[in-house]
Structure 1
């Protein structure tokens, strides 16, 4: 089988949620199925680390698709041509988008519908592109993959997709994530926090991650405890980060907040493993990968009681209303004051992250690829 894959999100040292999902699923898929040919479509020069085996053939298709006009040209102009030239059996697209101008069976991953729930976060042209085309992409795909039951239900409700067309393929957590040795914990605390304990947040700095309320919660916590505990913010500045920086400047205890920027995965692992806990009260997530990454590192988790996060965390985390800073602050207090609570959450987190396997999710993806090839073709009018 010739499996053509949209891999334009595979960028070295820049893998976040969608990129990590793409990397892990494809690494396992290629290894599990050496009998098939995989053609990876990049929109810029690729890194050899993403060529996972001898059965992978990389192709660079220009122009780089980083703008709605270029999305359109790449997916509706260049990709169909390549699919036709390769005589592809199936096209797997990992980033919510696909080609409408092809009869090749398509399997599309839809990670979330944040553009519908938070339209103000998107630039005007991006929003209009998503509003017009994502429903068409969903209709044109033989199968849709989502990373959570929450996103599946959202796609059914918002886009009118039949539930049986959607397969939930959750994120996993690799054995790369593991507890941090005590000596390394001391080193990490010394490096970032002058030796003091800290809470950690991991994610891109953008409004939906709810850092403004995290800062208020941390001020609440500091005023009640008068402790030397720090707050470490790990991640790049993303869109509309100005509002986050404004909230930071208004903090009473901003001197105890440490911004690391983007760091290596190895450093993230150690930051998880050396923290009092992960504070991740995001407003909306398709999955929420830091939850299980932290748990694999024996880091207790505070997360939101909204969208996919209760599903992902189960009973293994402190669930809070992300819009109530005092409630987040109370959860910080619990992790700080009650070691037994932390230990119980660590044990529950170890059990919880065992539910998630990249290998198993890759098997589910493959099943849908096979089914897509075997399903009779259904003509979808291009609009």
Structure 2
């Protein structure tokens, strides 16, 4: 391990590094154990494949704090730690505009790949920004004010700076091109995938609160753009109108501006049937999918919607939204409903709870649809994007 100070930027370079023809510097600052959401899974799954598939290419993985060895995917990966830890808008700016350029100066990469979209405006090498969606433009109320302002101000500049932009859906590609007046020929739709953890299983979920009752499942962050309030309203109406024994299991971490949701929840007649299960991953999450009556995923805004594909893989029917990327991802394998239509959503929940023929058809279609989205395909498309950037 070698540590050095370059113009007051502290950089730690670990391990040996052989010289090769291509050198890619990758922003891996979000790879933190136990804290994965869609962006982190995209980063993890695509990079571990590229490292394995291209042993002759050297990758420098750039972290902002001590890293976990599980994220060093091969001998052709050199981990680098550059401070400060970038977990606040002011520190984002310092890291990308001062630390990253110094790492580039010290390591001489051919390309900077940023799976979370942030670029260095000072860097002069080719850069790829993976912009998953523009929720901060269309749903700014779901973010703290300074965070939302930073995203809106700087991502337009990142788009101007990018050699190419990668994204995860055709919806997001069109949105990026329109919002930032960006050439569509320089946007690559990479897609997402699903890990091997998701498959039909007879193992029962480890959730005592279920008490052997059927349930609807939500997976995602508790954020206004996920239509959490609409979910509670539609579940309450479903229980009031149809008198069925179902519960609602909510998997995910709370985020911002949830006071309205909390107020409604406190006044719910059936709040005892709402289970906040926190973060679940791997086999725990798979069992919840596999035994759910359906996945409830009627968001206002998604750039992709990975839970849709996870549910398909686990044999779980899906109720999702008519908006943004969700019809594209779900295809004809899910029930689509307008996120504002609470009565329509409750009716769809009733149909999913009672119509076994509909459920069987959705499961069959979902299994086929899931095959379209794999991490292998996403990694191949990302590699094509890299080659077109050099």
Secondary structure, in 3 states, of the residue corresponding to 2:129? strand
Deviation (angstroms), 1:221: 1.1
Query: Which stretch shifts more, 361-370 or 277-286?
Result: 361-370
Length-normalised TM-score, structure 2: 0.92
CA shift, 1:128, in A, is 2.4
Alpha-carbon distance in structure 2 between the residues aligned to 1:128 and 1:221: 38
Partners of 2:316 and 2:90 lie apart in 1 by 43
Q: Over residues 45-90 of structure 1, what are the superposed CA-to-partner deviations in whole Å (9 max), with x where a residue is unaligned?
A: 1111111111111111111111111111000100011011111010
CA contact (8 A) 2:221 2:253 kept: yes
Q: For 1:246, what is the secondary structure of its paired residue?
A: helix
Is 2:106 the counterpart of 1:80? no
Structure 2 CA distance, aligned partners of 1:324 and 1:275?
Answer: 22
Equivalent position SS for 1:367: helix
Q: 1:17 — aligned with what?
A: 38
In the TM superposition, residue 131 of structure 1 has moved relative to its aligned partner by: 2.2
For residue 174 of structure 1, report the CA deviation from its aligned partner: 2.4
Matches within 5 A, 1:190-339: 191-339=208-356
Unaligned runs of 5+ in 1: 374-383
Residue number in structure 2 paired with 1:122 = 143
- Could you tell me how far apart the structure 2 residues matched to 1:58 and 1:243 are? 43
* Paired residues of 1:205 and 1:244 also in contact (CA < 8 A): no
In the superposition, relative to structure 1, how do residues 39 and 354 fare at CA in structure 2: closer, same or farther (>3 Å)? same
1:371 aligns with 388
Native 8 Å contact 1:189 1:195 kept in 2: no
Aligned length: 369
Q: TM-score, normalised by structure 1?
A: 0.94
8 Å contact kept, 2:206–2:284? no
| CA–CA separation in structure 1 for the residues paired with 2:61 and 2:316 | 35
Residue number in structure 2 paired with 1:3: 24
Seen in structure 2, the aligned counterparts of structure 1 residues 25 and 350 have a Cα distance that, compared at 3 Å, is same
Q: Is the 8 A contact 2:84 2:95 kept in 1?
A: yes
The corresponding residue for 1:359 is 376
- State the partner residue of 1:379: none
Query: Unpaired runs of 5+ in structure 2?
Result: 1-21
Question: Once structures 1 and 2 are overlaid, which stretch shifts more, 147-156 or 122-131?
Answer: 122-131
Give matches, 1:142-153, under 5 Å. 142-153=163-174
